[in-house]
Structure formats: C-alpha cells, structure tokens
Amino acid sequence: MKINNQYLSDLYARVEKRNAGEKEFLQAVGEVLESLVPVVEKRPEYITSGVIERIVEPERFVQFRVAWVDDNNRVQVNRGFRCQFNSAIGPYKGGLRFHPSVTASVIKFLGFEQIFKNSLTGLPMGGGKGGSDFDPKGKSDMEIMRFCQSFMTELYRHIGPDTDVPAGDIGVGAREIGYLFGQYKRIRNEFTGVLTGKGLDYGGSLARKQATGYGLCYFVNNMLAAKNDSFAGKTVAISGAGNVAIYAAEKAQQLGAKVVTMSDSNGYIYDPNGIKLDVVIQIKEVERGRISEYAKRVPGSIYTEGAGVWSVPCDIALPCATQNELNGEDAKTLVKNGVKYVAEGANMPSTPEAIEVFLANNVFFGPAKAANAGGVATSGLEMTQNSMRLSWTFEEVDQKLERIMKNIFESARNAAREYVNNEDNLVAGANIAGFLKVADSMIAQGVY
C-alpha cells in the first residue's frame, strides 16, 4: 500500500503491524488513509490531535463463544463478535453477519467502513458491526432459533437502544432479527428498539427491507443526473440475489432499466429479456433455494456455474453480493464491454485494483460507503419511529430515503471538489466527508 504522505504512511505501517494478517481490515483502512492525504495537508490539526490514530482503533471489540444444540442433539460451537468501533456521533450502529467466512478481520473492516457511512447519512449513529462464523444455509428453523438465542444470551449485555443497535447483514434477515429480538426482550424484560430490521408487527419500519437496494438506485440516479443521463433503457448487471440485490433490481426496473443478471455463491443467471423478479423472490426469499433454479423455470435464461457475472455486457454494474467479488480483471472486462457507471451495493465488493481501473477509464464510480448507506439510514429512521412510538407510511420513509441519498451524493461530491479538485472522485469524497464530521466530534469530546 503506497500512501503519499509520511505521517499517514507511517501510521498505516503501525496499523499493519498491530493487525497483522487482517487483510480485509487493512484494505479498508488503507483506502481511507489514502483519501486523507489532502485533508491532513490542509488541516494539520488532524495530525496534532491524534484523531486518525484513534479512529483506526476500535473503542471496544468483544469475541465470545456461542454454543448451541443441533437437531441431532449434538453440541455445536461457533464464534460470535461485536465490534463497537466509534461512538463519536451516536450509539454504535451496524449489522450482524452470519457466514462461515466471518473473522475478526471481516468484522473490523465492516465496522470501520460503517463509521464513515453512518456519518454520511447525516443521522446520529456511530459505527459498529458484529456477527458469527455460523452458516445458516441448510439449517432448520429451530436450529436457527437456538443459535440466535444463544448468540443473544451473550450479546445482550453489550447492546441497548442508547448504546449499540445491531441490524441484519449477510445471513441475517427478518427471521433471525425476530429470534434475536425475542431473546433480548426476555432477558432484559424490556420492549425497546434495540435492533432494526424488525418485523412490521413489532416495531419494524416500512421500506427497511427495500432500503439498501432502493437507496443504491437513488444514488445511481444522482450519478446519472449529474451526467444528464437516466436509468431509462439502460442494461444493468447485478451480482447477488439477497436482500440488497433483489430490491436494487426492483428499483432499477421501476426506473426503466433492464436487469439482465443475478448470482449467488454458486453461479449466475443471464436473462436477455430482463430478470423476472417474482421468480427470484420465490426462489430466494420463499424457498431459500439456489439461483440456478431460475434457468429451469424461465425459458430463454441461462445459468452459468462459478464466477463470471461481470463478463456480461452492461451500461451499469451493481455488485451486491460480498467483499472483493469484483477484481481488476473483471473491471477491465466491464470497461471493454462499455460499462459507464458502477455503484457498490455490497460492502467493499471492488478490489483496489478494480477501483483503479474504473477511475482510470472514466467510469463513474459510486463507493459502498455512500451508495449503500440507504439501509442504515432507514435503520436510523426505524430508531426514530421506535423512540417516538409511531410508524410512518411506506411513502414517507421512501421519500426521506431518497432525500438522504441525494444529500450523501452531494456531500461526497462537494468534498471531492474541495479536497481533490475532481467532483467525480466519489471514493475520496465519501471518505473525506464521512471522516470530517466524526473527527471534529472526537476532537470536541477530548482525548478518549
């Protein structure tokens, strides 16, 4: 990692030493520090206050054993995590991920990104993230419930509506949030907005399920408008077939685009006639099946095993699956095939090499921190509704979401214009705009 500033480069070397082998976390820190070069050159108080040294170190990181009993009466042991990264501007806020690839490094990278993302939303939320290496795939409902109850039996002591408010992420949807919430309520004897993404019958917000995917498309709409362009008639490639991917596809279609791909960890589908979302929703949300089923049900569509979704020509690419799913070679293929806009629905889906390719080829690139912040923003709106003990209509929440995404786009663009003299560099813009508010708050609150 090459950072063109001695202070930041030395700091990165220390972070690297202290977090040896944590490649996802180091990748996320490296990208932010690189963006801060023009900031520390212009504003030396960020060096003298030691705020950047502090921002790269989590305020608290808990790891715990999660023991549970499977359907065969065997004891299983998983590892649970919660990273409370930064509380300068509000209670810790960020999702829980249940996936076998979850490690301390993955949770720290996600928690670190969350600090800046939450700051960009303009809502009072600090950064946090958690999860487990538990794999929900193939587990029965009762196994999921027993796991969630065991997980919460430890987690409850670390969270609370004014302390830390977790939500969903990969492998954690409405079902898991329900079991987690139920256990928290039983242990604490309190009905509070301690989790977001709850069911609509017990404090959830309308439009939360759609929020990350819809927000992503609202963000892209701002990118398009800045180029006097629109979604109408565009071909869109989407990866993933989970919560973010499905609702990104729905909104892109509503805005007049044709979505031609979706994927899961086994392979991808290509439907030249445009993806039929009702079929995807039936397979993924109802049957919890594999995306390969789609090709068996929709004539004219093709399923291809393995990675390769980025080989499909498109105008707009929306990676919505997982980190580092789009590498430098994929980016070159997308550019060769004429992609004009890329925006990240997943967290850190593009490798640093891929981002370099996009920026060097004038592809307008929307980084995750900004482009997928609609989910957490709507979680923030869920917290507000819970505190006020009321619920807004779908339209009210959706309108607020659209406005928040516009504000995020403008904040990133303004910071990019001011600090790197290139309003299209939203990577730098999002990192800088997110950083300034948190750093200034930390300085105001004294050394901690």
**Which residues carry out catalysis?**
129
Please give the residue whose beta carbon sits closest to ligand NDP in the complex: 242
CA-based radius of gyration for the chain:
21
**Beta carbon of residue 356, minimum distance to ligand NDP (angstroms, whole number):** 21
CB of 349 to ligand NDP, least distance (A): 7
User: Smallest distance, Å, CB 170 to ligand NDP?
Assistant: 4
Select 8 or 331, whichever has its Cβ closest to ligand NDP. Answer: 331
| Nearer residue to ligand NDP within complex by CB, 49 or 265 | 265
118 vs 153, which CB is nearer to ligand NDP?
118
Nearer Cβ to ligand NDP (260/346) = 346
Our separate counts of H helices and E strands in the chain read: 18, 12
**Shortest Cβ 92–ligand NDP spacing (Å):** 16
CA dist 373 and 347 (Å) reads 10
Structure tokens belonging to residue 373: 């912040």
Q: How far is the CB of 24 from ligand NDP (least distance, A)?
A: 11
Element (H, E) at 79: strand 75-86
Q: Which residues pair with 261 in a beta bridge?
A: 237, 270
**What secondary structure does DSSP assign to 219-244, as a single string?**
HHHHHHHHTT--STT-EEEEE--SHH
Binding site for ligand NDP (CB under 6 A): 168-171, 212, 240-245, 264-266, 320-322, 325, 345-347, 372, 375
Q: How many CB atoms lie within 10 A of CB 376?
A: 25
Contact (CB, 8 A) for 24 and 323: yes
Sign of CA dihedral 239, 241, 243, 245: positive
C-beta of 115 vs 346, nearer to ligand NDP: 346
CB burial readout 315-343, b (16+ within 10 A) else e: bbbbbbbbbbbbbbebbbbbbebebbbbb
Residue-level length of the chain: 448
The span from the first CA to the last CA of the chain, in angstroms, equals 28
Question: Toward ligand NDP, which CB reaches closer, 345 or 434?
Answer: 345
Q: Which residues of 419-438 are buried (b: 16+ CB within 10 A; e: fewer)?
A: bbeeebbbbbbbbbbbbbbb
Q: At its nearest, how many Å lie between ligand NDP and the CB of residue 52?
A: 25
What's the closest the beta carbon of residue 242 comes to ligand NDP, in angstroms? 2
For 255-345, where are the alpha helices, taking DSSP H only?
A: 277-281, 292-297, 328-336
- Tokens at residue 311, please? 């080989």
Considering the complex, state which of residue 52 and residue 354 has its C-beta at the smaller distance from ligand NDP: 354
